[in-house]
Amino acid sequence: MSWIILIFVLIIASIKTSNSHDMTVSVIIPAFNEEKTVGNVVNVVKSLNSIDEIIVVDDGSSDRTFQVAEDAGATVIQHFKNRGKGAAIKTGFKNSKGDIVVFLDADIQNLTAKQVEKIIKPIIMGEADVTKTKFNREAGRVTELTAKPLLNFFFPEIKFDQPLSGQFAAKRSFLKNINLEDDYGVDVGIVLDADVRGMNVKEVDIGEISHVLSPLNELNLVATEVVRTIVDRANEYGRVTMIDSLGRSIRMEILGLSLVFLGFFATFFIRPIPIQLGLAISILGVIVAIFYIIKIIKMSFNVFNRSDGRFRAIKSFFYMHSPILVSGLILIAMITTLLGAVHIGDGKISIEPTSRNLIIWKEPVQNKSIDLRGPYTVDSALENEITAIRMPQEAMNSLELGYGDSLNINGKRYTLNNTIPGEDYVMRIPVDARSYLGLNIRDVIRDSDLRNIFKNIYALKYLQMQNNTTLSVQEGVLIKANEENASIVNMYVNDQKVTTTTGIFRNGTYNIYVNGVYYDSIVFNSLNPQKTYYVDIGSYTVKIEINGETRSDMEFIPAGQGKFLNFIY
- pLDDT the model gives residue 339: 67
C-alpha to C-alpha distance for 196 and 486, rounded to whole angstroms: 71
C-alpha to C-alpha distance for 295 and 368, rounded to whole angstroms: 39
Beta bridge partners of 496: 493
Last residue of a domain, one of 190, 212, 240: 240
Is the pLDDT at 219 greater than 60, yes or no? Answer: yes
Residues 37 and 115 in one domain: yes
Last residue of a domain, one of 283, 312, 340: 340
DSSP 446-494: -GGGHHHHTTT-EEEEEPPP-TT-S-EEEEEEEEEEEEEEEEEEEEEET
- Would you say residue 139 lies in a domain? yes
C-alpha to C-alpha distance for 134 and 142, rounded to whole angstroms: 15
Domain that holds residue 248: 244-340
- pLDDT the model gives residue 192: 86
The model's pLDDT over 529-567, given as tens digits with 9 standing for 90+, comes to: 778 888 888 888 889 998 888 999 999 999 999 999 999
Q: How many beta carbons lie within 10 A of that of residue 494, not counting itself? A: 13
Q: Are 456 and 432 in contact (CB under 8 A)?
A: no
C-alpha to C-alpha distance for 162 and 402, rounded to whole angstroms: 79
Last residue of a domain, one of 212, 240, 268: 240
Give the CA distances from residue 108 to residues 310, 363, 538, in Å, rounded to whole numbers and listed in that order.
52, 87, 118
Residues 314 and 409 in one domain: no
Q: Are 483 and 350 in contact (CB under 8 A)?
A: no
The model's pLDDT over 166-183, given as tens digits with 9 standing for 90+, comes to: 788 999 999 998 888 888
236-245, 353-362, 427-436: which is most confident = 427-436
- Would you say residue 17 lies in a domain? no
- pLDDT the model gives residue 16: 45
- pLDDT the model gives residue 531: 83
Beta bridge partners of 380: 429
C-alpha to C-alpha distance for 563 and 513, rounded to whole angstroms: 7
pTM higher than 0.85: no
C-alpha to C-alpha distance for 373 and 294, rounded to whole angstroms: 37
Taking Cα atoms as reference points, which of 510, 551, 552, 542 lies closest to residue 529?
510
Secondary structure class of 413 (helix, strand, coil):
strand
Could you tell me the CATH number of the domain that includes residue 74?
Answer: 3.90.550.10
User: How much of the chain is in helix, strand and coil states, percent to nearest 5?
Assistant: 40, 30, 30
C-alpha to C-alpha distance for 437 and 118, rounded to whole angstroms: 84
Taking Cα atoms as reference points, which of 381, 441, 443 lies closest to residue 412?
381
C-alpha to C-alpha distance for 452 and 447, rounded to whole angstroms: 10
Sheet with 25-31: strands ordered across? 75-79, 53-59, 25-31, 100-103, 168-171, 130-136, 201-208
- pLDDT the model gives residue 403: 95
Mean pLDDT over residues 416-436, rounded?
Answer: 94
Could you tell me the CATH number of the domain that includes residue 398?
Answer: 2.40.40
Residues 83 and 229 in one domain: yes
C-alpha to C-alpha distance for 341 and 357, rounded to whole angstroms: 9
* Cis-peptide into 430, omega within 30 deg: no
Q: How many beta carbons lie within 10 A of that of residue 478, not counting itself? A: 22
Residues 400 and 464 in one domain: no
Give the CA distances from residue 306 to residues 212, 250, 313, 314, 370, in Å, rounded to whole numbers and listed in that order.
47, 20, 9, 12, 50
Secondary structure class of 218 (helix, strand, coil):
helix
Is the pLDDT at 143 greater than 70, yes or no? Answer: no
Residues 205 and 85 in one domain: yes
pLDDT-derived band at 428, boundaries 50, 70, 90:
very high
Residues 232 and 171 in one domain: yes
The model's pLDDT over 246-300, given as tens digits with 9 standing for 90+, comes to: 667 777 888 888 888 888 778 777 778 888 888 899 899 899 989 988 887 777 6
Give the residue, 176 or 212, on which the prediction is more confident.
Answer: 176
Give the residue, 519 or 158, on which the prediction is more confident.
Answer: 519
- Would you say residue 352 lies in a domain? no
- Would you say residue 407 lies in a domain? yes
Q: Are 224 and 216 in contact (CB under 8 A)?
A: no
Percent of the chain with pLDDT over 90: 42
Q: How many beta carbons lie within 10 A of that of residue 263, not counting itself? A: 21
- Distance spanning both ends of the chain, measured CA to CA: 92
C-alpha to C-alpha distance for 326 and 142, rounded to whole angstroms: 42
Give the residue, 473 or 368, on which the prediction is more confident.
Answer: 473
Q: Where is average pLDDT lowest: 317-326, 376-385, 497-506, 542-551?
A: 317-326
Task: Name the burial class of residue 23, with classes exposed (0-12), middle (13-18) and buried (19+) by CB atoms within 10 angstroms of its CB.
Answer: middle
Mean pLDDT over residues 456-478, rounded?
Answer: 88
Is the pLDDT at 235 greater than 60, yes or no? Answer: yes
Q: Are 25 and 51 in contact (CB under 8 A)?
A: yes
Mean pLDDT over residues 70-82, rounded?
Answer: 94
pLDDT-derived band at 134, boundaries 50, 70, 90:
confident
- pLDDT the model gives residue 165: 74
- Would you say residue 9 lies in a domain? no
Is the pLDDT at 20 greater than 50, yes or no? Answer: no
Q: Where are the alpha helices (DSSP H) in 237-309?
A: 239-243, 245-268, 275-306
- pLDDT the model gives residue 19: 45
Mean pLDDT over residues 474-485, rounded?
Answer: 92
Residues 191 and 84 in one domain: yes
- Find the helix or strand (DSSP H, E) in which 203 lies: strand 201-208
Residues 64 and 190 in one domain: yes
- Would you say residue 5 lies in a domain? no
Residues 215 and 261 in one domain: no
- pLDDT the model gives residue 18: 42
The model's pLDDT over 294-335, given as tens digits with 9 standing for 90+, comes to: 887 777 676 566 544 455 556 656 666 677 777 777 777 777
C-alpha to C-alpha distance for 175 and 508, rounded to whole angstroms: 90
pLDDT-derived band at 483, boundaries 50, 70, 90:
confident
Taking Cα atoms as reference points, which of 382, 376, 431, 383 lies closest to residue 409?
431
Contacts 24+ apart (CB under 8 A), 11-16: 16/125, 16/126
Taking Cα atoms as reference points, which of 291, 197, 202, 212 lies closest to residue 253?
291
Q: Where is average pLDDT lowest: 54-68, 84-98, 128-142, 197-211?
A: 128-142
Residues 441 and 476 in one domain: no
Residues 145 and 181 in one domain: yes
Beta bridge partners of 132: 168, 203
In the chain, the number of structural domains is 4
Residues 108 and 221 in one domain: yes
C-alpha to C-alpha distance for 23 and 128, rounded to whole angstroms: 14
Secondary structure class of 546 (helix, strand, coil):
strand
Mean pLDDT of the chain: 83
- Would you say residue 510 lies in a domain? yes
Give the residue, 152 or 67, on which the prediction is more confident.
Answer: 67
- Find the helix or strand (DSSP H, E) in which 109 lies: none
C-alpha to C-alpha distance for 86 and 459, rounded to whole angstroms: 84
- pLDDT the model gives residue 455: 94
Beta bridge partners of 376: 445
- Would you say residue 7 lies in a domain? no
Give the CA distances from residue 362 to residues 347, 359, 365, in Å, rounded to whole numbers and listed in that order.
5, 9, 9
Give the residue, 232 or 60, on which the prediction is more confident.
Answer: 60
